[in-house]
Amino acid sequence: MNELKLTLDTVNPAHFWGPNNENYEMIKGAFAKLKIVARGSGVTVLGDEQELKSFEEKFNELVAHMEKYSALNGNDVESILGAKATGVEKKVTGEAGAGGGEVIVFGTNGLLVKARTANQRKMVTSIGKNDILFAIGPAGTGKTYTAVALAVRALKNKEIKRIILTRPAVEAGENLGFLPGDLKEKIDPYLRPLYDALDDMIPAEKLKFYIENRTIEIAPLAFMRGRTLDNCFVILDEAQNATDMQLKMFLTRMGPTAKFIVTGDVTQIDLPKKQMSGLHNGLRILEGIKGIDIIYLSGEDVVRHKLVKDILKAYGDIQ
C-alpha cells in the first residue's frame, strides 16, 4: 500500500474541511478506495498509486480554489471533484449549486455558476448560435438562473454593454392591494427573483453601481414599450404571464446587436381567467424561424430540493 503526505499550510484546515467536516466527508466519499486521515494541517492518504495521484491532483485544485476565494463550500467541492463526486450524497441543494459542465460565470464568495443539467447546457450552447432563445419549463429547472448567468457572462466579457431584465408585474393568485413607496419600491417585489440571481453572481457594491448607472436595468414588461433595445442582453422572465400583444411588443424591441432570452412556465399562469397567455401562441408561430431556438426543460432539470420534483409530479406538471 502506498502513502501520500500532504499539508494545508496556506489555508485554514477547519475552513477547508467545512462545518461539521462536511467537505471532508464528501472528499472521503469520492475517494472511497483510499484511507484519508487528517490531523491538524497534515493529511495522510493510503491506497493505490493511481488513486493517490488522482487524489493529489484534486486536493491541490481544492486548495487553490480556497486560496483564491477564501472559501470552500459543498458546491465547490462537488464541482472540482467532478465525475469523482458521482454517487456521493449531495449535502448542498438549490439553484446556486454547481454541477457538470463548464463554468458560466464565477459568482460571489467563490461560487461557480454552471449549467447543471443537459437542457441547461443546451441553453448555453444555443445562445451562442441564436439571438432569441425560449427556455420553457416547470418551477425549479434553473431556466431563469441560467439565463441571468449567461447575461452576466456576456457583460463581463464585454460582449454587450447592458443587461435588461424584465417580467410582467402580475400577482400570483393574490390581491396584494395598495403597495406603499415610490415606483421602485412598488415593483421590486415582482422582480425579486432576478435580484436574487444577480446577488449570487455580482458583488453587492458592484451590483449597486451597475444598477445606479443603468448598466443593469430591472423593470416591468410594460416599461419596454416604445424602446429599441440594442447592444444588450435582455431577459423576459415569467413570460407565461404576458399577453399575446405584450410578447409581440417585447420581441419587436430587439436591436441589431441584442440577445433575447424568454423564460416561462406554462403550468403556472397567473393572468385573470378571461385573459389568455401569449406564450402558447408565441411558441407555436415562432417555431422554425432561423435565429430563434426553443428549449423545453423537464423534471430531469429540477435543481431545487429533491422534493420539488415529487411535488411537481403530484400536481401533474411533470411526468
CB 104 within 8 A of CB 263: no
Predicted model pTM:
0.67
pLDDT of residue 172: 46
Helices (H) and strands (E) counted in the chain, each on its own, are: 11, 11
Longest C-alpha distance within the chain, in Å? 73
pLDDT in tens, 253-280: 999 999 999 999 988 888 887 788 999 9
On the 0-12 / 13-18 / 19+ scale of CB atoms within 10 A, 217 is middle
Indicate the average pLDDT of the chain. 85
d(CA 23, CA 96): 17
pLDDT in tens, 135-193: 999 988 999 999 999 999 999 989 999 999 998 876 544 444 555 665 566 667 777 88
d(CA 48, CA 51): 5
Supply angle C-alpha 190, 187, 152, rounded to 5.
65
Edge to edge, what strands does the sheet with 292-296 contain? Answer: 216-220, 162-167, 232-236, 259-264, 132-136, 292-296
pLDDT of residue 199: 92
Q: Domains in the chain, start-ordered, CATH in brackets?
A: 2-85 (3.30.1370.10), 103-314 (3.40.50.300)
d(CA 122, CA 296): 10
The type of residue at 195 is Y
Of residues 122, 36, 118, 29, the one with CA closest to residue 81: 29
The type of residue at 112 is L
Cell of 172: 400570483
